[in-house]
Each structure stands twice: as C-alpha cells, then as structure tokens.
Amino acid sequence: MATNPQIRQRSNARHCIFLLSPGNASGVKGQRLLNPDSQSELALRLRESGAPLGEVYESISSLYFRGKLQYAEYFQCPPPGVAGVHVITGAGLMLPETVVSIDQFRRLSAIAIDADNPDYRLPLHRDLCRLREVANSETKVILLGSIATSKYITPLLSVFGEQLFFPRDFVGRGDMSRGSLLLKCYSSGSPLTYLSAADLTLNRKPTKKKLRVA
C-alpha cells in the first residue's frame, strides 16, 4: 500500500486512517459523466486514458465527497508505509489516486453496496483484513460515511471493532451539511471529534451508555 506524499508529519499524534464511502454514480451528475456523448473534460479523459477514482467521485458528489476527500487527505496520520485514505467500493478498498477507465468505473458502480451482497462484502472483507494486518492495533480507523444502515458499519465493525470511529458531528446531519462541515474543518485546520462506532446504533442514535470520545 502506497504512502501519500502529502501527509503532514505529526510526531505526537495517534495514527489514524480514513475510510470514505463512495459517491453515488446513479445520480444526475454520475449519469451525465457516464453518458457516451458527454464532452466534459473529465468524461473525455475517463473514456480515453482513465482518471483518478477520487477525482471521478468528486465530480459526481462535488460537496460531500470533495469534503470527505480533502478532510481525510489533510488529517490522515497513518503508520509508516500504509496509505491513510481509502475509498470503499464494490471491488473492495481502493486508493483515491487509482486511475480507472470508464468501463472499470461502470463495473464498480454496478455492484450493489449492501452488506448482504457477497459481491460487495467479500472483496471488502478481504481488503479490510489486509489493512488490519499492516496497521497496528492502536491505529484509529475513521469512517467518513453513513451509519444509518448496515452497508458500511457492519463489515467495518466485524474487522476493526473498537478501532473503528465516526465523527460525532455527523450524527443527525445530512450529506450536504456533512460536506460543508468537512470543508470548513479542512480550511480551518481543526479536526472533528470522533466517537467509537461500536457505541453507535445503526439509526445514528447513541446507546444509553456513555460514548467514548477520541
């Protein structure tokens, strides 16, 4: 797993890795990008030579995914030799700088992101286990994505358990509000506070016991 050269050095910070939920390619922007008649610069590049996955998702989710990616790239603090930002996809974990062709992106987008779908769950479980092997047990794994359903939280908790965290200020917010919040934190250099994902229910409400903050 490659290391992002833009990582800021934090000698006293606890190691942390970010897992980003993907953009929704079924929306208007996604369908426009995948339209074979589209003449946008990114659509042409995607058809001809491919484009970085992160850039593609930023194009179809210009606020929420852009906020997640910029925030994660700025605040990542992975162990040496480990990538600090990963995107959850239908093919498992992928780095945002991975170049994909339009056919590859269509295949990724065709896989249902559902915890009960083995085509999604098995590759993700494989890559999560590989990540757990190279990241030490003290590394925080932070999900920037929804916990309202089981599609992310269930497979991630099954591998990382107490190492998995979720932004406290995500609770009760919609995607647009989360995106704006992330961009504000990125601009100010102020990280969010994280809660233990194991202490959160799937409907995004805290459990009755006191939540652990990290």
Question: Tell me: the pLDDT tens digits for 61-78?
Answer: 889 999 999 999 999 999
**Residue 81 belongs to domain spanning:** 16-199
At 12 the pLDDT is: 55
At 206 the pLDDT is: 40
Q: Is there a contact between 140 and 16 (Cβ–Cβ < 8 Å)?
A: yes
At 84 the pLDDT is: 98
At 103 the pLDDT is: 93
205 is a domain residue: no
* β-pair partners for 165: 142, 196
At 55 the pLDDT is: 95
Q: What percent of the chain has pLDDT over 70?
A: 88
How many domains, in total, are found in the chain? 1
At 200 the pLDDT is: 77
24 is a domain residue: yes
Cα–Cα distance measured from residue 118 to residue 194, given in angstroms and rounded to the nearest whole number: 30
Q: Is there a contact between 58 and 22 (Cβ–Cβ < 8 Å)?
A: no
Comparing CA positions, the residue from 137, 52, 127, 136 lying closest to residue 96 is: 52
The bridge status of strand 194-196 relative to strand 164-167 is antiparallel
Higher pLDDT, 33 or 93: 93
* β-pair partners for 196: 165
pLDDT of residue 3 exceeding 80, the answer is no
Place 25 in a pLDDT band, splitting at 50, 70 and 90. Answer: confident
146 is a domain residue: yes
211 is a domain residue: no
5 is a domain residue: no
The Cα-based distances of 147 to 18, 24, 96, 191 in angstroms read 15, 16, 21, 20
214 is a domain residue: no
Backbone angles phi, psi at 180, to 5 degrees: -65, -40
At 208 the pLDDT is: 39
At 27 the pLDDT is: 84
At 13 the pLDDT is: 74
Average pLDDT over the chain reads 88
44 is a domain residue: yes
Q: Where are the beta strands (DSSP E) in the chain?
A: 16-20, 51-52, 85-89, 92-94, 99-100, 140-144, 164-167, 194-196
Structure tokens at 92: 């498992």
207 is a domain residue: no
Place 98 in a pLDDT band, splitting at 50, 70 and 90. Answer: very high
> What is the average pLDDT across 117-127?
97
Helix axes 53-60 and 64-75, enclosed angle (nearest 10): 140
Place 168 in a pLDDT band, splitting at 50, 70 and 90. Answer: very high
Backbone angles phi, psi at 54, to 5 degrees: -60, -40
Q: Outline where 49-174 has alpha helix (H).
A: 53-60, 64-75, 102-110, 118-134, 150-160
